Structure 1
Amino acid sequence: MSSSMATVVLIGVGVVLVVASLLFFLRPRWLLGWLKGMAVFAVLLLGLYALTLGITLTRYDALEGMQTVARIGTVQAGPQRWRVTVETESGAPVQAMILGDQWQMDARILRLAGPLRWLGLAPGYQLERLSGRYTSLEQERNAPRSVIGLSEASWPDLWALDRTFNLPFIEGVYGNATFMPMGDGAQFDVRLSSSGLVAVPTNDQARQAVARWGQ
């Protein structure tokens, strides 16, 4: 299609759409009916969104200030092989084999934004995964990786949708603890605030592992 022909087509489509829309004003009942229908549809969408948001928040644990959300214990099972136990407040302990020299925990944080902030609802959190990492850059690139899921997938996933499309009235925040060293018999507390995770050594083995790691 030539440039001039495309221009003519666009102008013709524009005229048809403008005339069709003006016909609504010649028939006020049609216009009022259309406006009422759109208003009802908007209210329906808003209600469905509020319902989905409320159901989603029931799957998250409430976050009140800085609090301990998990306890991590590591026991060496071989060279760069660690049996890790994750204890949380809301579920049974999870045991997994992690490969590497360090561990990291990730969490999802979902908080209300905009006008809904005035509801005073505490942000919700969901522990997402535990992963291992090698100190050696070559191993990190080529050696087997360990990633352990700590939560089940749900639909609709408003946290992921907000990260992609910036949904209204909510903020999906990604929190992760700094990588911490493994240690035989080491124990750590994982603490969470609305801005992220912090790992704290809680016994001598963990503190010694952190001291060696920092040298």
Structure 2
Amino acid sequence: MSHELAAIVLAAAGALLVIVGLLFFLRPRWLLGWLKGMAVFGLMLLGAYVLVIAVNISGYQSLEGMQTVATISTQREDDQLWRVTLEPRDDSPFVETLRGDQWQVDARIIRFSGPLRWIGIAPGYRLERLGGRYTSLEQERSQPRSVVGLGDVTWPDLWALDREFNMPFIEGIYGNATFMPMRDGALFDVRLSTSGLVAVPVNQQAREAVQEWDQ
């Protein structure tokens, strides 16, 4: 904000405060009624916001430290066609067919600050989507993409609102695991902290796939 604009804004705010002060002396009853009405309206808005937070928290899993939130296994069905099973820690497994050479899982992370943090609400997460990708840039541009949603979106979506409007007392973070290679019989752990997702190979097939991919 420029000095000129800041001066105008501050002058307007100062004038408004002076007028409000004068009204208090001229019509105290009217002003006190208005202040009470504004206080009640503010409490209603605060209550509605707390309700929105409560509704959104119910759709997130509690997150404390680094923890394994899911396992992913891949089975070859055809050339660049894979049967991928994602097993969340506390939910039913998702079985999907993905195209490509690599997979990736995304999650939403929501952290709390201020009074919500003081009362001990832990950060939360929700697995967002599972997708496939081709290693060939030409195929990635021309071939159909495989992206599967892993959960329903709660309305109003507090995470999305924070990303757009920077809502008070919460912080919406987008986490995604690095693309991992597909391999017949491979098994991966998906681990999550408040800073993001990490995919860790669990069995020999997964470790070999990662080693070959890194070379």
Total equivalences in the alignment: 200
The residue number in structure 1 matching 2:33 is: 33
Shift of 1:24: 6.3
The residue number in structure 2 matching 1:184 is: 184
2:171 pairs with 1:171: yes
Shift of 1:80: 0.7
Taking the aligned partners of 1:190 and 1:177, their CA distance within structure 2 comes to: 8
The residue number in structure 2 matching 1:82 is: 82
Taking the aligned partners of 2:113 and 2:23, their CA distance within structure 1 comes to: 41
1:179-209, Cα deviation, whole Å (9 max, x unpaired) = 1000001000000001100000000110111
Shift of 1:145: 0.1
Which AA in structure 1 matches 2:128? E
Tell me the percent identity. Answer: 66
Following superposition, which runs of at least 4 residues in structure 1 exceed 4 angstroms of deviation? 20-25
Q: Secondary structure at the match of 2:189?
A: strand
2:136 pairs with 1:140: no
2:117 pairs with 1:117: yes
The gaps in structure 2 that reach 5 residues or longer are 1-11
Shift of 1:114: 2.5
Taking the aligned partners of 2:25 and 2:176, their CA distance within structure 1 comes to: 56
Contact 1:25 1:31 in 2 (8 A): no
Shift of 1:124: 0.7
Larger radius of gyration: 1
The gaps in structure 1 that reach 5 residues or longer are 1-13
TM-score by length of 2: 0.88
1:195-206 matches, cutoff 5 A: 195-206=195-206
The residue number in structure 2 matching 1:7 is: none
Taking the aligned partners of 1:153 and 1:170, their CA distance within structure 2 comes to: 17
Taking the aligned partners of 2:147 and 2:99, their CA distance within structure 1 comes to: 9
Taking the aligned partners of 2:74 and 2:25, their CA distance within structure 1 comes to: 73
Q: Secondary structure at the match of 1:197?
A: strand
1:141-193, Cα deviation, whole Å (9 max, x unpaired) = 11100001101121010000000000000011110001100000100000000
Taking the aligned partners of 1:88 and 1:47, their CA distance within structure 2 comes to: 33
Taking the aligned partners of 1:192 and 1:175, their CA distance within structure 2 comes to: 9
Contact 1:100 1:132 in 2 (8 A): yes
TM-score by length of 1: 0.88
Which AA in structure 1 matches 2:146? S
RMSD: 1.8
Contact 1:187 1:206 in 2 (8 A): yes
Shift of 1:90: 2.0
Taking the aligned partners of 1:165 and 1:171, their CA distance within structure 2 comes to: 11
Shift of 1:47: 1.3
Contact 1:110 1:123 in 2 (8 A): yes
